[in-house]
Amino acid sequence: MNSNLQTPRFSLRQLMPFLLLLSMLTVFCNPEKQSEYPSPPQTPEWAVNATIYEVNLRQFSEEGTFAAFAEHLPRLRDMGVDILWLMPIHPIGEKERKGTLGSYYSVYDYLDVNPEFGTKEDFRELVGQIHEHGMYVILDWVANHTSWDAVWTQTHPELYETDEEGNFIIPPGTDWTDVIQLDYSNPETHRKMHEALEYWVREFDIDGYRCDVADMVPTEFWNEARYRLDVIKPVFMLAEAETPEHHIHAFEMSYAWETHHHMNQLAAGEITIADFEQHLEENRERFPDYAYRMQFTSNHDENSWNGTVFERLGDGVEAFAVLAATIPGMPLVYNGQEAAMDKRLEFFEKDPIEWGDFPMQDFYTRLLRLNRQNRALFNGIHGGPLNRLVTTADDNIFAFYREKEGDRVVVLLNLTDQPASFELSTAEASGSYTDLFRDIEVVLGDAESFNFAPWEYAVYHSAK
């Protein structure tokens, strides 16, 4: 035996892609095992206490480019952002285009970038910079439909649904006249779309996807997509849907749409706090405990079509932002919220955010950093459950605490436009805390009295 030869040694991390590939080949070669995808999906460790921020590149800056956005990375990192969700970066179709610039969600070519934003190399450089800042990037992916003049309409017209005369059709039941429906009864559509998803992970090292109208695409497609992507690297997947079965094999996180709508209704006085609490309980029972739910007061759809946070939430903007950041789930900030953006961004035209002096930057920094640091607010099963605290004004005050491994957060919210004087039974949550927004020490005994102005809030936190 040659003494100069040594047995190679590999870490489990180095071997993982090969093990996943072997497992995947086993599944594909045995149809009886095709349902045996990992459950739950193997969430990356970095997502356990992550926060998320949505980026509308067209409106983010006057330039609307990858390079111009990159200038904000240090600020966003310092604000406590972990995951950057980029709205679709692909070229936009021209046929049946809406407005001057068209919708991001009318994809012309899944394997290219919108020249308005820059080049592929510009995007590759941005991904590298994001990673250098300790953050992660997910792309918005439109799997259900393409533009009327998309590359595939010429090279692979068989991938689309058609009417009786063989004409392309818009997605059934919609008024999305600028896009046409892909056909997921065709296995070739699955294959081509999986290859496109793999391309951006393999070639550009992105960290996952936000999947547009995920309910309109078969769950089995997403299950296999997740399995294939994890062969390349551990990814993070967000569904624009609210479907429990998505969490079994494919997605870490889904939209908490119903919770968001309940917040809007609560702000408008259309439901009570008791109604909201009942919704939270019913929603908790619907989803597996490991599911991440994305909590938000705004996003691109809400802002452009339903109104700014100030239109929908009025003087309760900050109170509802605190609520979204402290109930179970991962908090989302839509770009411009830290600048107290009070306009609806145009969807099909150029309409840059007016950043000003970032009046709410400190507010969101405190909330996002608390989410990252206090285990009670971690995502899914890694955080603590919501425990309601009884007050003498429960019609006005939503009070609760969350606790995990010795870390605790106590939240008091006046979710009405009326002042409230109340006593709070804090025996369950007595102790010493730091007031998140006033930077003072607070001691809660077995019972405390408070006088809250309309929409006033307080957040107390302690760590083991």
What pLDDT does residue 6 have? 36
Helix (H, G, I), strand (E, B) or coil at 352: coil
Domain 388-462 fold: Immunoglobulin-like (2.60.40)
* Per-run averaged pLDDT (10 residues), the chain, 464 residues: 35 41 44 67 97 98 98 98 98 98 98 98 98 98 98 98 97 97 98 98 98 98 98 98 98 98 98 98 96 98 98 98 98 98 98 98 98 98 97 97 98 98 92 97 94 98 93
What pLDDT does residue 381 have? 97
| Separation between Cα atoms, residue 72 and residue 80, nearest integer Å | 13
| Separation between Cα atoms, residue 318 and residue 323, nearest integer Å | 9
73 and 114 Cβ atoms separated by less than 8 Å: no
ω into 40 cis (within 30 of 0): yes
What pLDDT does residue 36 have? 73
Pick the CATH number of 12-384 from 3.40.50.1390, 3.20.20.80, 3.30.70.141, 3.30.1330.10: 3.20.20.80
What pLDDT does residue 2 have? 36
| Separation between Cα atoms, residue 350 and residue 117, nearest integer Å | 13
Diameter of the chain measured on Cα atoms: 85
Record the pTM.
0.92
What pLDDT does residue 93 have? 98
How far out from the chain centre does Cα 392 lie?
36
Q: Where are the domains of the chain?
A: 12-384, 388-462
